[in-house]
Amino acid sequence: MTAGRLEPGVVLSPIRTLAAELGVNPNTVAAAYRVLRERGIVETAGRRGTRVRARPASVPRDRTPLQIPAGVRDLSDGRPAAELLPELAEALRRGGVAAAGRGYGDADLSPALAAAARTTLSADGLPAEHLAVTSSTLDAVERVLAAHLRPGDRVALEDPAWANLVDLLAGLGLVAEPIPLDEEGMLVEPLRRALASGVRAVVVTSRAQVPTGAAVSPTRARALRRALARHPEVLLVEDDHAAGIAGVEAAPLAGATAPWAYVRSVSKAWGPDLRLAVLAGDATTIDRVRGRQRLGPGWVSHAVQEAVVELWHDARAVALVHRAQRDYAHRRSALVAALAGHGVPARGRSGVNVWVPVTDETTAVTSLLGQGWAVAAGSRYRLASEPGLRITIATLRMSEIGGLAQSVAQAVTSVPPRGV
């Protein structure tokens, strides 16, 4: 497989067939297949058999940064605007002072952070009795999935999806089950079919979905909760990485199933280098995560936890985050409207990204580079969905929107797009 003699998607021989060909016990072949599955090299698809993964877990998808020529505006990286992030130095200093003396044997969760997190989570209708703190959204999601699932289990997630999440599933030996979405989030009927087919977990992005900017609406949340409630044993994981700057209210699904976890990161709104996410969930899930943490890093730095509390109570920092939310919403809506004026459909309900459907990503990306704009090709995020472009609006100036929309229209209208 690693030598390239077995192409992605090739179906391997049934266990008994291969055992007969090799003259070995079927248990030997079964054990070999299990090792390949656990390493993310193959995946088992029920009656469809065992097949070679499109991209083994040990080989991450191409993350080579787009080579951006001098003078080209970079709207490809998905990052928040640096000038709209609070200053961290003073908060970190005060947080370090507040955390002084804490060490081995102390509680892993700062009481001040727990109190503040419970207040904000409860205000959004989330049960917040059981909490943990992790180093990031992805850290939390990995720990929750590892606490409940085994290699070969199937996980439903939005398509297109956050590229890091897709890579994480492969790295854990889990099988991604793509579920289409629209601006209001994951579509209900495809999720129902996936649940009926036996997926073991569902990962939902609450808002600011990467790469489309979708956000679960209250109406969609009610329908999703009804679908999930029919399968109470399924693990539900919600990613709320853009709380504070998403631009829409949260519509959580938490509690629709027995095992659940809701991850709220501070990095996107308050500072990427803070590396902190608050995790709420059912008692068993949180106990498993915290127990496993004790065998690894132990805890997230109390100085960082206290710094986050300082920022949440700093009027200037809060005002800047509110300004970021308003600015991002203004830029998103203005770009979507300008594209519509050129007959180009786009999504961008929340967060810092706008998604533009195209027929040929390579042609569109190349054309835009030639016109002075760098955007991200949708192939980084797609599983089974149609091609598209992700445009990050975080640093986009209002004066640039008209020119960008015109360039995008020129890049995508040579071949009509397939729809949103």
pLDDT tens profile 252-302: 999 999 999 999 999 999 999 999 999 999 999 999 999 999 999 999 999
- What mean pLDDT, rounded, does the chain reach? 91
CATH 3.90.1150.10 domain range(s) in the chain: 73-84+317-412
CATH 3.40.640.10 domain range(s) in the chain: 89-313
Task: For the full predicted model, state whether its pTM sits above 0.95.
Answer: no
Q: Residue 55, Cβ neighbours under 10 Å: how many?
A: 16
Taking only Cα atoms into account, the Rg of the chain, rounded to an integer number of angstroms, comes to 23
Place of tokens 């030598």: 3
Kindly report whether the peptide bond that precedes residue 80 is cis, defined as omega within 30 degrees of 0. no
pLDDT tens profile 52-77: 766 555 445 555 566 788 899 999 99
Q: What is the pLDDT of residue 58?
A: 46
**Phi (first) and psi of residue 389, to 5 degrees:** -125, 140
Q: Point out the least confidently predicted range of 272-276, 310-314, 415-419.
A: 415-419
**What is the rounded distance in angstroms from the CA atom of residue 279 to the CA atom of residue 357?**
34
CATH architecture of 89-313: 3-Layer(aba) Sandwich (3.40)
DSSP string, 256-298: SSSSEEEEEESHHHH-GGG--EEEEE-HHHHHHHHHHHHTTT-
Class in CATH terms, 73-84+317-412? alpha beta
Q: pLDDT band for position 154 (50/70/90)?
A: very high
